Structure 1
Amino acid sequence: MLLNIHKGGSNVEKKLTAKEAARILQVEESTVRFWEKEFAEFLLIKADKGQRNRYTQENIEMFTKIRELLHTELYTIKGARRRLELDRTVGDSLGVDHNFKTTVVFMFSSILSELQEARKEADKLSREVQNLKRAKNEIEEKLWEEQSRGLLGFFRTRLRVKQIEGE
């Protein structure tokens, strides 16, 4: 994407203007400048005093990640910053490349989604268990009432028989 210019035995990386970066990223120049301010800690752009900022290959790659987070994955600015910080933290602590970090973050996201679904299912099952307990208690009460009525009927019948025999 960027050009390496060979000067006197050393490679000098051509830095891009905001307009050139915007064209590559397919966004407005003002968007590039806004992202530069909002994501300064991740871009680390150094301009000479009195000069306009110019962007390196690494800056363009970071802008591309930012565009992906904001436009494709629909993160908010704050959410995109958190995601970039997480990527940086995971990469720094594990010493891994971006593809692995992306895979790990995707796996964590999938695990969290599955856990949320499992929690919903557990809540649903808990409500069903509570309903079954209530139904069991109601049935036990009705059974007790029926048994009590049956015993009372039995004793009434026996008492009547005894009264008849005693007469």
Structure 2
Amino acid sequence: MKSIDAVAEATAHLPQFTIRLSATRRGARLARRLAVQQLAAWGVPYDSEASHAVAVVTAELATNAVTHGRLPGRDFRLSLLRLPGHVRVEVTDARPERLPPTAPAAEPCSLDADSGRGLVLVSAYAERWGCEARNTCTKTVWAEIACPW
């Protein structure tokens, strides 16, 4: 497995978008809108499957950061990285000790439930996803979504 420094160096020349947002529901909604807007700036139409997938994944990861990764006074970070054939969505929050489950729940969730479908949706839309505690103060949940460039 590559070190974080090696990954950062290898991707430094690739187009990317990064922003800090308030760890609130408003910040999570804004993350979704900004992700779709950035894809459009990179040439991916708003009404495309890739744009829809990135919107859903970003919304779920940002909502999880606000719901489960929030600490008072701390923001979360949204990063999009344009890679060959896909886009990587990363959401970094302030709770490295609260890791998501490595797989969606084995029990099917109710469609009427208020929560519990987020990582199932991420798994459905992403080619792959994971989580990294990059330091003692943050964790990053990421997902890679197919995107025609």
TM range (shorter): under 0.3
Between Structure 1 and Structure 2, which shows a larger proportion of strand residues? 2
Q: Which has the larger radius of gyration?
A: 1
Between Structure 1 and Structure 2, which shows a larger proportion of helix residues? 1
Greater RCO (Cα-Cα under 8 Å, separation 6 or more): 2
Normalized against structure 2, the TM-score is what? 0.25
